[in-house]
Structures are given as C-alpha cells and as structure tokens.
Amino acid sequence: MNKETLFNNWNFMRWLRLGLGIYIAFQAIETLSLFSGAVATFFIFQAITNTGCCGTNGCAVPIKKNSSNGSEQVESEEIK
C-alpha cells in the first residue's frame, strides 16, 4: 500500500466506514465482544485501504462497448 492511497480520495463513504469502525471498536472494548472487534477491524481496514466489499470499484457496472459502425445486422426468417 502506498502513501497516496492512505491520504487521498477521502470521500463520504470512506469517512463513514472509519467512523463506524472506531465507534464499533469502542463498543467492542467496552463489552469485550470478539465479534464486534472483528467487525470494527473490517470497517477500519476498508476505510484505510479505500476498498468496499467487492474491492475498489468492484460494484461498478462495466461499460458496454458498441460496435464501430453503430448498426446491427438482424437476421429474420419468414414463417408460413
């Protein structure tokens, strides 16, 4: 991981993950819950590395590439 990933592109979702991770971490320490600690670690890791559940832009819809001429050949068959 490079320094640029850590310090750039802090958007709302990244701040939200960090805030939730810190809040859940305090709750995990207070209640001594291992599951809450694991969830907090997961959220904090996502915030630091700027990843989501599917990775960086993993849930983005791929761009469909059109053919170069813009028209499609449609084959039809007449039924009698």
**What was the pLDDT predicted at 41?**
94
Residue type at position 26? F
What is the average per-residue pLDDT within 41-54? 84
For the stretch 32-44, pLDDT in tens is 999 999 999 999 9
Q: Is the pTM of this model over 0.75?
A: no
**HEC profile of the chain:** CCHHHHHCCCCHHHHHHHHHHHHHHHHHHHHCCHHHHHHHHHHHHHHHHCCCCCCCCCCCCCCCCCCCCCCCCCCCCCCC
Report the distance separating Cα 80 and Cα 66, nearest Å: 34
Both tokens of 32, joined, read 């001594």
**What was the pLDDT predicted at 8?**
78
pLDDT > 90 fraction of the chain, expressed in percent and rounded? 38
